[in-house]
């Protein structure tokens, strides 16, 4: 990791309230619906010090266009270098390919990430994902009934999936 890495963040109003996007020169590093200061401080400690105005503007446009109904796929890449294991990174990379308005199961994602039968591990990787919307974890659901939990709020997942027309 480069010592001169710069992070930037901005907060975009959404139907859920403020949504903060943190970017590195390589893309979106994290998102949060809460107070961004603690997250940004932690990321700055882990990645270095911070600024990429172009990526920040692009991520802001993505969020605004998504909630404005004008963007089905985020254009700003996710920077997954902070994701722990190679399998977790593979899970998030696969999840980025799930088309707008579609639902995949944890088993589907695990299989496409190279580990059939690792649905629980895929679920754990998705639960720890620091990047919402740019890695559309809300599109991954259990194979059984219901939508499962999501970021501490099943309602949030259901609202996003209704917005996308998936349910």
Annotated active-site positions, please?
Answer: 137
Q: What angle do CA 122, 166, 17 make, to 5 degrees?
A: 80
Q: Can you tell me which residue has the tokens 């308005």?
A: 101
How open is the CA angle 81-96-78, to the nearest 5 degrees?
35
Q: Which two tokens stand for residue 92?
A: 């998030």
Round to whole Å and give the CA distance between 37 and 83.
20
């Amino acid at each position: 990791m480069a010592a001169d890495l710069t992070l930037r963040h901005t907060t975009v109003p959404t139907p859920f309230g403020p949504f903060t996007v943190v970017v590195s020169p390589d893309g979106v590093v994290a998102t949060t619906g809460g107070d961004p200061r603690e997250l940004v401080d932690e990321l700055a400690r882990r990645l270095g010090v911070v600024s990429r105005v172009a990526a920040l503007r692009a991520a802001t446009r993505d969020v605004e266009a998504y909630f404005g109904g004008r963007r089905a796929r985020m254009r700003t890449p996710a920077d997954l270098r902070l994701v722990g294991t190679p399998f977790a990174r593979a899970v998030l990379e696969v999840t980025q390919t799930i088309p707008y308005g579609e639902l995949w199961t944890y088993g589907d994602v695990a299989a496409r990430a190279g580990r059939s039968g690792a649905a629980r591990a895929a679920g754990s990787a998705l639960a720890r994902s620091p990047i919402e919307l740019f890695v559309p974890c809300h599109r991954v659901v259990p194979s059984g009934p219901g939508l499962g939990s999501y970021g501490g709020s099943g309602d949030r997942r259901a609202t996003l999936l209704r917005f996308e027309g998936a349910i």
